[in-house]
Amino acid sequence: MEFSATTFRELCQQHGIAVTHQRQVLFEIMQGMHGHPSPEEVYARVKKKIPAISLATVYKNIHLFVESGIFREVSMHHGTLRVEMNSRPHHHMVCSMCKSISDIDEADLGLLPSHQKLPGGFLVERYAVDVIGICPECQAKKVN
């Protein structure tokens, strides 16, 4: 486990957040979950331990965990449907600050698959690569 050496109390102190019962149970249950649960799925699990917990609290703490880097989001751009009209083979540069998405040509990325068969027999159609980082505009804005 990633946080086995550190107690949850210490983890909260590092990030300057209060150690509440809800927060601790939420953290422990999420740590034990497999896959990529939605907030509703997490809520359902936590309610078994804390029946009075609010869905809003689940959302607020998930965001807090993600902002703190304790957990992550699967997709940087899960918000609304975005349409792709560019038919050239390309990937995306996603800014972790402003969430802007820009195209990058497959050739410019220089990322090539070396395996053809994936574990479990997954049949590959294509790759979609998100290069996550800081766009030039946000680099300029950033005060370090």
Partner DNA sequence: TTGACAGACGATAAGAATTATCGTTTACTA
Partner DNA sequence: TAGTAAACGATAATTCTTATCGTCTGTCAA
Three-class DSSP category at 136:
helix
User: Measured from the CB of residue 126, what is the shortest distance to DNA in angstroms?
Assistant: 22
Residues in contact with 109: Cβ distance below 8 Å, sequence separation at least 6, in sequence order: 91, 129, 131
Give the one entry of Zn ion, Mn ion, DNA, none that residue 80 binds, where binding means its C-beta sits below a cut-off of 5 to 8 angstroms depending on kind.
DNA
Quick check: 28 binds Mn ion (CB under 5 A)?
A: no
**Count, residues near DNA per rule CB under 7 A:** 26
Question: Is residue 20 a contact point for DNA (CB under 7 A)?
Answer: yes
- In angstroms, the CA 95 to CA 98 distance is 6
Q: Give the three-state DSSP class for 104.
A: strand
Task: Confirm or reject binding of residue 19 to DNA (CB under 7 A).
Answer: yes
* Exposure letters 20-40 (e unless 16+ CB within 10 A, then b): eebbebbbebbeeeeeebeee
Residues forming contacts to a second copy in the complex (CB under 8 A) are: 2, 30-31, 33, 35-40, 42, 62, 65-66, 71-85, 87, 92-93, 95-96, 101-102, 104, 108-115, 118-136, 139
Residues forming contacts to DNA in the complex (CB under 7 A) are: 12, 17-23, 38-40, 50, 52-57, 59-61, 63, 78-81
